[in-house]
Structure 1
């Protein structure tokens, strides 16, 4: 069975020229690629980056005009983990193809997820070898720890969550942080006070700064090893 081919809106580097990095946005349940591509416009002045925001492969059962990475209506974490696993091959194929399209190495990749997209970003990013430079997860959860990078080779991870989130409680982020730390993965995190299921200005600023630093660190590490 072949994986569905993903596609979605793209943004060129703000300064023109070929991109030095690729940031892939993974949208939440019932949205589509247009929902997050605007973050790229905010970050573009500081990052020589191609931004792309693929539409999830399935039509959303609860939002007919939207898309889903997998069915969330059942809500059980074991079923969510299965959903992540089923959706991952199409996403991994897309990431491989986009890096090849722009002639970029694995360490030039950053994944940014929101809600269900964060579940996908963590699962896909941790499974990739070599690892991407960074994973930024907003308002999400950790669905699975089946595949992990070797110690010292994993991506930089930032988790951001509103303490008033009514869709995915902030406890999900705290549990993800603990599980990732126990697995030997360094995680930075930020609780946005008074914020629900969304991204505020401070979270946006933190994400952009985190990506810039992670790309610089990954490039330095690669140049030392080459």
Structure 2
């Protein structure tokens, strides 16, 4: 088995036989690889779940990067450039290793991220759009470092962007701006706005599940 750089939880399909699609799950700041498993359990049967742990300890959990607050506080924060680059590379390397280790279908890989995990996921798909069949980014934003990218292969890429109307950690406007940018460069964007704060409520979960089901069905 190929060594996977990031600590993780792997949940295989109950009826695994041969290569199968997968979703890579990226948690938020201060959480860990177990945090989003209750969400992932609602996703379609037959899907591998590989939930990755961020590399750096933080407050009993882990973080993908430290925050750059030079633009004016949490609501205007950006990823620290060096930390962000390291995490992007570690996730990409972990995806490649997991494909080999767990016999994943390399043409049917999805990303599902929350908060910092969503920010990381949005940048990953812009750096290598052909690697991922679809992406779910919940309560995140598009990092300035990647805001001007317009890569080949992003056209018609299915991207779900969810936001909380009452989110005080990452305001809905930042998530909406990310969705707008993906619209501009030709991705197939699905938007969801929900009345809660910085968390995943039942309606958002239902919409995410429906979106993922539709993506899996395209390739069956």
Scaled to the shorter chain, the TM-score interval is 0.7 to 0.9
Instruction: Answer with 120-129 or 109-118: which moved more.
Output: 120-129
More strand, by proportion = 2
Q: Is the 8 A contact 2:21 2:46 kept in 1?
A: yes
Using the alignment, how far apart are the partners of 2:94 and 2:106 within structure 1? 13
Q: Residue 48 of structure 1: CA displacement? A: 0.7
Using the alignment, how far apart are the partners of 1:147 and 1:179 within structure 2? 10
Partner of 1:100: 100
- Specify every segment of 5 or more residues in structure 1 that has no aligned partner in the other structure, as ranges: 221-226
Instruction: Answer with 134-143 or 179-188: which moved more.
Output: 179-188
Distance 1:102 1:192, change over 3 A: same
Partner of 2:216: 215
The 5 A counterparts of 1:108-123 are 108-123=108-123
Q: Is the 8 A contact 2:23 2:112 kept in 1?
A: yes
Using the alignment, how far apart are the partners of 1:203 and 1:107 within structure 2? 26
Q: 1:155 aligns with which of 149, 154, 157?
A: 157
Q: Does the residue aligned with 2:214 lie in a helix, a strand or coil? A: helix
- Specify every segment of 5 or more residues in structure 2 that has no aligned partner in the other structure, as ranges: none
Partner of 2:20: 20
Using the alignment, how far apart are the partners of 2:150 and 2:45 within structure 1? 28
Q: What is the root-mean-square deviation of aligned Cα atoms in Å?
A: 2.3
Deviations 1:169-195 (A, max 9, x none): 0001111111111122221101012x0
Is it true that 1:49 corresponds to 2:47 in the alignment?
A: yes
Deviations 1:126-170 (A, max 9, x none): 222523111101111111235543256553100011100111100
Q: Residue 18 of structure 1: CA displacement? A: 4.7
Per the normalisation by structure 2, the TM-score is 0.86
Per the normalisation by structure 1, the TM-score is 0.84
Partner of 1:132: 132
Q: Residue 200 of structure 1: CA displacement? A: 0.8
What is the total number of aligned residue pairs between the two structures?
210
Using the alignment, how far apart are the partners of 1:152 and 1:121 within structure 2? 14
Using the alignment, how far apart are the partners of 1:154 and 1:122 within structure 2? 15
More helix, by proportion = 1
Q: Residue 30 of structure 1: CA displacement? A: 0.6
Q: Residue 75 of structure 1: CA displacement? A: 6.2
Q: Does the residue aligned with 1:42 lie in a helix, a strand or coil? A: coil
Using the alignment, how far apart are the partners of 1:24 and 1:151 within structure 2? 20
Partner of 2:204: 203
